[in-house]
Chain A
Amino acid sequence: MFDLSSMMQYLPAFLEGFIMTAKVSIISIGFSFILGMIIALMRISTHKILKYFALAYVDMFRNIPFIVLIFFSYYGLPEIGIYIDAFWTGVLTLSLAVGAYTAETLRAGIESIDKGIIEAAKSFGLSPFKIFIKIIMPIALTVSVRPLGSVFINLILTTSILSAITLNELTGVSKVIASTTFRPFEVYVFLVFFYGLLTFLLSGLFNLWHLRLNKYNEAG
């Protein structure tokens, strides 16, 4: 009943889907991290307008389902003269949406930093930019790296929704394989295991990173 052998010929197609998922994920993780950093900074700034903008941003993107956002971009962008393909529509929307979660995670990390440490750096004449890069981000990351890991794992799982706007990533490709082989059960069970393995490996990676970043806390 459960037969995978007949599907070996679809392995190359499946691999292509995987590469597409990886590409979308990696680019979106990069963008959403940068965006999250900016939004987190706005969120903790003393500037009222920036602060409320960031707050509204986070609130909006965390409370509207991603599929609604992606349909809005996919059908909306061409209406205002922006013609980009499903890949970039996906990357942009995903980055915007996940940026809200990244921002909240980073904010928690930044707010956990002892104010005295930042003041010490200031008193020695370090510029705000240097303080952010050399002091704030490294310390914030030690706190945020694990929650950040779950945010990015979620991002990878969310790329599956891009199959709804015709992107041929893992899920999109598998849909085609399932309907041509008439073996949807095997295909989707395999896919569930595949995503599971992927997230398992990734959370392991983030745990290692967490240990590396926190080595200075070990002895204390």
Chain B
Amino acid sequence: MIEIKNLYKDFGELNVLKGINLSIHEGEVVSIIGGSGSGKSTMIRCINGLEKITSGTLTVDGFDVTKPSELLEARKKCATVFQQFDLYPHLNVVDNITLAPINVLGLSKAEAQIKAMELLDSMAMSDRATFYPSQLSGGQKQRAGICRALAMNPRYLLLDEITSSLDPEMTAEVLEILKLLVKRGITMICVTHEIDFAREISDRIVFLDEGTILKDMDKQSFFNDDGGLMEPRIAKFLTKMATI
């Protein structure tokens, strides 16, 4: 379980997250939506320890990310896929995927490579195994990014706007893969702009607005007329997203 209690995050004078309370259980697929500047990416960055939280607590399966001694264990349980892919440019696809399993989980090179090839195969990427990131299309890069995250055998998959840098065709390609992962029962926390997609895969929607959680409810209720849409800001946001 990921447990966030009374989380505050300031950047100097700017308060980005103001008292977030959120629990995410194993097996759930949670979409975090909200306008730009609502703090949704910052929240994901707090979970994997890339941002130091200002106050409050954040634990991943009981491991406190604010304690340096527990951060590594917390990180082993969460794997992130990034908006800008952030693949290691000097390593080919397989080496990108095996770097952390070998150096963090202590897998042998052979084990890690077999696992990587299995993952690539499941995403129809086997023929790109020895390519460098610069030789891949955006969609392929992101599929490699997903493989890199899954190779860590994470309990939680954190997805940070992973389709924002892709054109519609490639977005569809990546979303198909996520649907497959949902079927496998992986826990996902996904920050996204894709409302339709959130509606399709999530169990739960969290709507973030100016650093606070405006609504946190299961999908059915959220999209009902007497659910999330009752909230004028959400209704406005959803219409705006629909027109794009």
Contact = CB atoms under 8 A, between A and B. Distances in A.
Q: Do A and B come from one complex?
A: yes
Contacts of B79: 123-124
Contacts of A124: 75, 79-80, 99-100, 104, 148, 152
A139 B89 contact: yes
Given A116-B82, A123-B75, A216 B99 contact: no
B215 interface: no
Contacts of A134: 99, 103
A51 B100 CA distance: 30
B236 to A, nearest CB: 31
Which of A122, A138, A216 gathers most chain B CB within 10 Å?
A216
B88 A117 contact: yes
B48 A123 contact: yes
A48 B84 CA distance: 31
Interface residues of B, number: 28
B135 A220 contact: yes
A214 B224 CA distance: 54
A115 to B, nearest CB: 9
B86 A119 contact: yes
B86 A139 contact: no
A209 B90 CA distance: 14
Contacts of B78: 123
Nearest to A116: B86
B211 interface: no
B132 interface: yes
B90 A123 contact: no
A55 to B, nearest CB: 25
A125 B104 contact: yes
B76 A125 contact: yes
Contact of A125 (B72, B89, B90): B72
Interface of B: 48-50, 72, 75-76, 78-80, 82, 84, 86-92, 99-100, 103-104, 132-135, 148, 152
19 contacts: A114-B86, A117-B86, A117-B87, A117-B89, A120-B87, A121-B100, A122-B50, A123-B75, A123-B80, A124-B99, A124-B104, A124-B152, A126-B100, A135-B88, A213-B90, A216-B92, A218-B134, A219-B134, A220-B134
Interface of A: 114, 116-117, 119-127, 130, 134-135, 138-139, 142, 213, 215-220
